[in-house]
């Protein structure tokens, strides 16, 4: 059986199936459909949805609610991510599991509210002071919107950090036909909560440095502390260089040392191909179409779809670079992810960008032109 649906709906279903019970957001095209659907869905499952007075309060409420035991999600577009910025940093240092949906639209600034873009790729990675890592996933189809939203909840719990899901106006708002069994429901781990009486006074203990400890929740059987400042393991403010250094190394190591648990790519490799296409999100759809056309015309080509944008799945990209003399990166920006590929490319490997910044999608033809 099939249905007619869109990415927004799939994200909302993914959130509900992942156990999300708190949503706060502020209306913005093209993410408003998620806010309105969550306003209907949350009360149905015994959760809470609220329209904040702005994006700052929306993400703030999500963080507060999470510390009180909720599984929270918020959704916005580029302009809203700007207002989330300071709180993204707080969720990083406070180690708050939080899912942030960024339905990208064309920037800069208000830009084009109803036009597609992928201009927030580097922004979400470096969108708050300090430069600490986050995780970002990019679905390239409606079923992936469902599964990767669930995955985002799972990774948020696993790593106690903000996890972004990057989509765009076209993926979220174009109604399309989906086979119902194309939705892959994946397990989402429950929150690791500090057991009653057990080290609740040290909500920020991590041994070894890359370990992620369980979370203490307000209302549990011991007082719980939280802070956005540099802190010791009891969440008291400290400037002690050894403690602060260890904390900040921990924030990096807990993600970077466990990339194999995050990396997600779809590799479609033709051993006879000298050119590989690489893309993500909505543009990966055009790439798949281009691959189909090329192969039907007898032209060998490989393709790599990046589903986990951050941290960069370097192993898969390196393998692609090693086996192809030429890698074509297609994206709706001026080459934000191409930078990451170029950084990995050895001398002699050609990295080519296919870009559009006019609100229209990269077409299969755009890819095919670079192939010929």
Q: Which of 184, 198, 218, 358 binds other proteins (CB under 8 A)?
A: 218
Q: How far is the CB of 351 from other proteins (least distance, A)?
A: 23
One of 191, 193, 225, 326 touching other proteins (CB under 8 A): 225
Q: Any contact of residue 301 with other proteins (CB under 8 A)?
A: no
User: How, if at all, do strands 162-168 and 265-268 pair?
Assistant: unpaired
Q: Residue 11 and residue 30: Cα distance in Å, rounded?
A: 13
Nearer to other proteins (CB atom), residue 174 or residue 322: 174
DSSP per-residue string spanning 49-108: EEE-SSHHHHHHHHHHHHHTT--EEEEE-HHHHHHHHHHHHHHHHTT--EEEEEEE-B-S
Residue 43: CB minimum distance to other proteins, A: 4
Q: Which of residues 83-112 bind other proteins (CB under 8 A)?
A: 86-87, 90
Q: Which is nearer to other proteins, 48 or 246 (CB)?
A: 48
Report the residue number, 175 or 211, with the smaller CB distance to other proteins: 175
Q: Do residues 184 and 219 make contact, with C-beta atoms less than 8 angstroms apart?
A: no
Closest among 149, 109, 192 to 307, alpha carbons compared: 149
Using CB under 8 A, count the residues that bind other proteins: 80
Nearer of residues 2 and 315 to other proteins, judged by Cβ: 2
Interface pick for other proteins out of 99, 262, 301, 361 (rule CB under 8 A): 361
Cβ 10 vs Cβ 142: under 8 Å: yes
Of the chain, the end-to-end C-alpha distance in Å amounts to 39
Residues 232-291 close enough to bind other proteins by CB under 8 A: 235-237, 285-286, 288-289
Asked whether position 172 contacts other proteins by CB under 8 A, the answer is no
Q: Give the nearer residue to other proteins in terms of CB position, either 18 or 50.
A: 50
C-alpha to C-alpha distance for 3 and 7, rounded to whole angstroms: 12
CB 132 within 8 A of CB 92: yes
Verify binding: residue 63, other proteins, rule CB under 8 A. yes
User: Closest Cα to residue 107, out of 56, 59, 163, 168?
Assistant: 168
Give the residue with the Cβ less far from other proteins, 129 or 325: 129
Separation CA 96–CA 230 (nearest Å): 15
Least spacing, CB of residue 26 vs other proteins, in Å: 12
Q: Is residue 165 at the binding interface for other proteins, with CB under 8 A as the rule?
A: no
Q: Interface residues for other proteins in 42-61 (CB under 8 A)?
A: 42-44, 48-50, 52-54, 56-57, 60-61
For residue 51, the cross-strand partners are 25
Q: What is the dihedral of CA 287, 147, 259, 256, to 10 degrees?
A: 100
62 binds other proteins (CB under 8 A): yes
Give the contact letters, 322-341, x = binds to other proteins (CB under 8 A), - = no: --------------------
| 8 Å CB contact between 290 and 367 | yes
Kindly tell me which of 254 and 288 has the beta carbon lying closer to other proteins: 288
Q: Which residues pair with 24 in a beta bridge?
A: 50
Nearer to other proteins (CB atom), residue 113 or residue 211: 113
Q: Which of 110, 126, 129, 179 binds other proteins (CB under 8 A)?
A: 179
226 scored as a contact of other proteins (CB under 8 A): yes
Query: Residue 273 carries which DSSP code?
Result: -
């Amino acid at each position: 059986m099939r249905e007619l649906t869109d990415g927004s709906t799939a994200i909302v279903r993914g959130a509900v199936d992942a156990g999300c019970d708190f949503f706060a957001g502020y209306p913005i095209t093209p993410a408003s459909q998620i806010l309105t659907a969550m306003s209907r869905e949350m009360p149905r499952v015994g959760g809470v949805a609220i329209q904040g007075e702005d994006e700052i309060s929306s993400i703030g409420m999500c963080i507060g609610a999470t510390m009180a035991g909720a599984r929270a999600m918020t959704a916005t577009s580029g302009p809203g991510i700007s207002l989330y910025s300071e709180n993204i940093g707080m969720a990083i240092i406070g180690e708050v599991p939080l899912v942030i949906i960024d339905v990208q639209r064309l920037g800069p600034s208000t830009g084009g509210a109803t036009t597609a873009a992928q201009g927030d790729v580097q922004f979400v990675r470096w969108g708050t002071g300090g430069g600490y890592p986050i995780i970002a996933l990019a679905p390239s189809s409606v079923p992936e919107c469902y599964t990767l939203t669930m995955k985002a909840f799972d990774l948020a719990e696993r790593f106690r950090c903000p996890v972004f899901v990057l989509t765009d106006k076209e993926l979220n708002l174009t109604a399309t036909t989906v086979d119902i069994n194309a939705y892959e429901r994946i397990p989402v781990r429950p929150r690791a909560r500090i057991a009653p009486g057990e080290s609740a006074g040290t909500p920020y203990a991590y041994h070894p440095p890359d370990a992620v400890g369980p979370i203490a929740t307000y209302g549990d059987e011991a007082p719980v502390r939280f802070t956005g400042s540099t802190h010791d393991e009891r969440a008291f403010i400290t400037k002690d260089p050894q403690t602060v250094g260890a904390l900040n190394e921990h924030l990096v190591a807990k993600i970077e040392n466990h990339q194999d648990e995050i990396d997600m790519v779809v590799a479609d490799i033709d051993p006879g191909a000298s050119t590989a296409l690489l893309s993500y999100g909505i543009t990966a759809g055009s790439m798949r179409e281009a691959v189909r056309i090329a192969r039907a015309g007898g032209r060998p080509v490989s393709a790599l779809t990046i589903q986990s944008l951050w941290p960069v799945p370097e192993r898969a990209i390196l393998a692609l670079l090693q086996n192809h003399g030429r890698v074509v990166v297609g994206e709706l920006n001026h080459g934000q992810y191409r930078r990451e590929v170029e950084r990995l490319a050895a001398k002699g490997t050609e990295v080519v960008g296919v870009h559009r910044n006019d609100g229209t999608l990269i077409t299969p033809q755009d890819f095919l032109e670079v192939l010929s």
